[in-house]
Amino acid sequence: MAQSSHPNFISRRRLLQGTALVSAILLTPLAASTEASASAAAEQYVSSVGKSILSVASGSKGQMSSQFRSLMARHAAISAIGIFSLGKYKSKLPNGQRSAYFSLIEKFVAGLFIKYAPQFAGNRIEITGSKARSAKDIIVSSKVHFASGKAPLDVQWRLLKAGGGYKIFDVRVLGIWLAIQQRTEFVSVIKRNNGDVGALLKFLRGGG
């Protein structure tokens, strides 16, 4: 009698299929749990940072610049934002100017938050959900509520995984993604100067 017809014989193919099925059953809840944990951590991070931003935006205008810059230094993905903002000219940034450029980016991003401070000057931030773009890229949605009773402001936060936590890569407020707007402006400056990235640094040193 052929071995494959024996009632106690399990073919290698069937064994592999069974193993794969069991693995899928066991690992699917684990994957879902991991994704949920990542979302919860990202949402908690935005809640914490958002409260700090609301506090600064509602506080002393004299201290706003230094406080926003301090927040950006701790929580913004400055290097990633800086490289993204150069667009097609990113390869033209000299290694010797990277440190100075990233420092100027930090200052520039803080300036954007100062510009939008009236919109962030709420009394409460509510996290409304999150969506993973990839394993290292997640968007958290929120609403900023105001004591005056005016309509809540929708704000989205794009986060990048950084070490064991997150960094802010972009913020969408009033329908505008700030990093994308920044890239458009920077690329325009470089293009007007025949692809000279040095002209952008000069622009940023002049306050943008």
Q: For the segment 181-204, what is each residue's pLDDT rounded down to a tens digit?
A: 999 999 999 999 999 999 999 999
- DSSP class of residue 151 equals P
Structure tokens at 161: 């995984």
pLDDT (0 to 100) of residue 37: 55
In a domain, 17, yes or no: no
With respect to residue 171, please indicate whether it lies within any of the assigned structural domains.
yes
Per the domain annotation, does 18 fall within a domain? Answer: no
Does residue 21 sit within a domain?
Answer: no
- Note whether residue 142 is domain-resident: yes
Share of the chain above pLDDT 70, in %: 81
* 188/191 Cα distance (integer angstroms): 5
pLDDT tens sequence across 60-93: 888 999 999 999 999 999 999 999 999 999 999 9
Here the tokens at position 11 are 């073919």
CATH number, residue 108: 3.10.450.710
> Which 8-state DSSP code applies to residue 11?
-
The domain tally of the chain equals 1
Domain with 94, as residue range(s), is 43-205
User: What digits encode the pLDDT tens for the residues 126-151?
Assistant: 999 999 999 899 999 999 999 998 99
Structure tokens at 82: 């800086």
Which residues make beta-bridge pairs with 153? 144
Tell me the percentage of the chain whose pLDDT exceeds 90.
70
- Asked, for residue 37, whether it belongs to a domain, the answer is no
In this structure, of 27-31, 32-36, 49-53, the range with the lowest mean pLDDT score is 27-31
Length of the chain: 208
**pLDDT (average), residues 89-109:** 94
pLDDT tens for each residue of 6-15:
444 445 445 4
Looking at residue 132, its amino acid is A
Q: Strand, helix or coil at 161?
A: strand
**Is 143 part of any domain?**
yes
Looking at residue 38, its pLDDT comes to 61
**Cα–Cα distance between 174 and 153 in angstroms, integer?**
8
The answer as to whether 137 is a domain residue is: yes
- Reading the block at residue 68, the tokens are 């926003």
